[in-house]
Amino acid sequence: MASVFHIHCGDGHAYSVALFTGNVYMLADGTALDMETYPAWCSSCQRFVVAELVRTRTELEAEIRELEFFAERPGWIPEDRILRIGQLPELRRRLAWRCQRSSPPHCLDCGSEQIVHFWPQSTMELPRFGRCELRFSGWVDATRSTCPVGAFSPEGVRLVAPSTDLKSRRFTK
């Protein structure tokens, strides 16, 4: 499954970026942690790309506190909110990983740190393009053969190409 974003820029052009699931960080204990990604501008690639989304510890801690609060008080969850209490273990693992992470996010295509994220804002100014606005377009079904996914170090360096067995998170060189 991939989420598709369109980027509409002041130069009159629209660009598309598809975010595929399946990229993982291989942690020191041998387990995999799903990588969060988001559209960005890469100065090295000179185009819109998929980049790591490395949320701050403060953001992760706030999300954990909110989920813990509502986990103890499920009847208090506002009707207009969807909270996935079952994500708490994964968020705690992500926070532990984030506390060890020192490098900034990278472009998944070239590995450059010279990226400008749309997160958390949905607009950015780029000299060549003018004002660019990010819009979520929807979901598309994607087969494993078309998903550009891989394994990365905890610092975001690509390790190996993935095997086709993404469900078990076993990767080969």
**Rounded CA separation 117/85 (Å):** 28
Q: Which tokens hold the place of 109?
A: 């295509």
Helix H or strand E encompassing 42: strand 37-42
Q: What is the pLDDT of residues 10-47, one digit of tens each?
A: 999 999 998 888 899 999 999 999 999 999 999 999 99
Looking at the DSSP assignment, which residues form a beta bridge with residue 14?
Answer: 8
pLDDT recorded at residue 121: 83
pLDDT recorded at residue 42: 96
pLDDT recorded at residue 142: 66
Q: Is 90 exceeded by the pLDDT of residue 9?
A: yes
**Rounded CA separation 16/105 (Å):** 20
pLDDT recorded at residue 119: 80
Q: Is 80 exceeded by the pLDDT of residue 141?
A: no
pLDDT recorded at residue 69: 87
Average pLDDT for 128-143: 87
Structure-model confidence comparison of residues 76 and 123, the more confident one: 123
Q: Is 50 exceeded by the pLDDT of residue 166?
A: no
Q: Write the DSSP symbol of residue 171.
A: B
Q: What is the pLDDT of residues 61-118, one digit of tens each?
A: 999 998 888 888 878 877 877 778 788 999 999 999 999 999 999 999 999 999 999 8
